[in-house]
Amino acid sequence: MLAASLSINDIALHELDGFSQTQRGQLLTRVESDLSHFVAGAAPIIEAVARDGDVALVRFAREFDKADITGSGVEARRADFDEAFSMLDREMIGTLEYAADNIRRFHEAQLPAEIWMKEIKPGVLVGERYTPVDSVALYSPRGKGSFPSATLMTAIPATVARVPMPIILTPAGPDGKIDAATLVAARLAGIERVYKAGGAVAVAAAAFGTQTVPRCCKFEGPGSPWVAAAKHLLHGKIGSRVSAGPSESIVMADDSADPRLAALDLLIESEHGSDSSAFLITWSREIAEAARAVIPEFWKEMGKRRVEYSRDVLSGARGGIVLTRDRQQAYDFINDYAPEHLQIHSKTPFEHLGHIRNAAEILLGEHAPGSIANYLMGPNAVLPTGGAARYGSGLSVHDFQKATSIGHVTAAGYAEMAPHAHRFASYEGFDAHANAVSPLRERAPLKTDMPT
């Protein structure tokens, strides 16, 4: 019945050149998440976890995940990992191994030098030293399915960054067990401390620690509004990046693009949920009309729920086809939108790359669909959404390290810099600052002259 009702009329065509600023602004708007309901609900959960520890984890697992983890325990055992490897299809294990290798290679290349120093003036050496965060909790969601890809994307940069204590938190299934592929991914990433907790419960467990779950410095990974609300409430108690919102993408297609492939790739992010955003943008009316015409054909190859999500997205102001006057108008729209994912369909995609400033991820060419990037190309798939790509970046090894500034000044360097420092301190009214770089320093007794 659903297949029979699918038509070209279900895909919005936005002709940007005729749009007012208000209409254009509506296309740039994502679903606005009001976290007030979730914040109110997360507060007592956090309080219970802080007070009751593992007892709260067991109770909430039963209440929220319909999972009895009393017998199986909060922490995954070595036997659970072994069982996961024996249960999982050998080809799927091979795919996880393949993805893990690519992701590790990318993040190893991203790893900065442990220390660098540069002489900026004679006798003045400055630099930075990078050290890992002491402990991180990595979240693998399970609300709409199981996501071993999220485990690889969060765990591998943490281990590459040499975090001494990385752990993974993920909800248990109704059988009280952790998803097998998630356990396999965890071991492939080099982490075997995996705990059963989801949503706000997981954030609280990592922030306060329980009898089983260790307290951590940071919490990273994609999650639901419950995760976002808990991170908001626990700001200052545990560190974290800005939470990612619903999935979003732009597929840009120039005159040389294959409209069928562009349409196929448009559907990738549109199937995540009705709150997602997905646009195909082009300045070719021929490409726009051909892509629009073929989408119902591809919908027939998808399951009912995914089609419903996709159609919801592509039929309104947060998705569909955007037809622009020319390529510059397309570039301007993309930079204003700052998408999570951008794929450029073109026979010469690199000619467009220099015009894009704001995008969390740019995939070049018709052979680089988001599916490959989301799972196993190598660059991290935990990306900023909601326009945050204007100022933020994807998850990386840098999120699991901290930079410490280093400075070394010789006597010659001090002689040059001291008068300038004294002048600054005097102007700002800091006497001790000024004294430390004044002749008082030269008159101060040396250690060798001090009485024993």
pLDDT above 90 coverage of the chain, percent: 89
Nearest-angstrom CA–CA distance, 99 and 119: 41
- pLDDT at residue 370 tops 80: yes
SS (H, E, C) 268-306: HHHCCCCCCEEEEEECCHHHHHHHHHHHHHHHCCCCHHH
- pLDDT at residue 1 tops 70: no
Q: What is the pTM of this model?
A: 0.92
Which residue is catalytic, options 14, 107, 272, 341? 341
Predicted confidence at residue 405, as pLDDT, reads 98
Q: Which residues contact 291 (CB under 8 A, 6 or more apart)?
A: 253, 259, 260, 262, 263, 266, 280, 282, 321
Say whether 340 is catalytic. yes
E strands of 194-240, at which residues?
A: 194-196, 218-220
Nearest-angstrom CA–CA distance, 179 and 140: 10
Strand partners, 323: 15, 282
Average per-residue pLDDT for the chain: 94
Which residue is catalytic, options 340, 345, 352, 366? 340
Say whether 47 is catalytic. no
Distances (CA, A) of 177 to 76, 140, 145, 222, 300: 8, 14, 14, 21, 35
Nearest-angstrom CA–CA distance, 144 and 274: 13
Which residue in this structure is represented by tokens 């560190």? 239
- pLDDT at residue 2 tops 70: no
Is the CB of residue 172 less than 8 Å from the CB of residue 69?
yes
Angle, nearest 10°, between helix axes 259-270 and 285-299? 60
**What amino acid occupies position 380?**
N
Nearest-angstrom CA–CA distance, 262 and 11: 14
- pLDDT at residue 452 tops 60: no
Nearest-angstrom CA–CA distance, 69 and 75: 9
Q: State pLDDT tens for residues 36-69.
A: 999 999 999 999 999 999 999 999 999 999 999 9
Predicted confidence at residue 32, as pLDDT, reads 72
Predicted confidence at residue 5, as pLDDT, reads 79
E strands of 78-217, at which residues?
A: 115-121, 124-132, 135-139, 165-170, 194-196
The ranges assigned to domains in the chain are 2-32+245-378, 36-113+130-244, 410-449
Is the CB of residue 337 less than 8 Å from the CB of residue 28?
yes
Which residue in this structure is represented by tokens 């697992």? 61
3-state SS assignment for residue 121: strand
From the CB of residue 75, how many other CB atoms can be counted at a distance below 10 Å?
Answer: 17
The fold of the 2-32+245-378 domain, in CATH, is Rossmann fold (3.40.50)
| CATH number 2.30.130.10 is the correct assignment for the domain at 36-113+130-244 | no
Q: Which residue did the predictor score with more confidence, 400 or 246?
A: 400
Is the CB of residue 364 less than 8 Å from the CB of residue 350?
yes
DSSP-assigned letter for residue 137: E
**What amino acid occupies position 404?**
T
> Counting Cβ atoms within 10 Å, is residue 5 exposed (0-12), middle (13-18) or buried (19+)?
exposed
Q: State pLDDT tens for residues 105-156.
A: 999 999 999 999 999 999 999 999 999 999 999 999 987 668 999 999 999 9
Q: State pLDDT tens for residues 328-347.
A: 999 999 999 999 999 999 99
**What amino acid occupies position 119?**
E
> Counting Cβ atoms within 10 Å, is residue 303 exposed (0-12), middle (13-18) or buried (19+)?
exposed
- pLDDT at residue 446 tops 90: no
Strand partners, 118: 126
The two domains 2-32+245-378 and 36-113+130-244 share their CATH topology (first three levels equal): yes
Q: Which two tokens stand for residue 403?
A: 């930079």
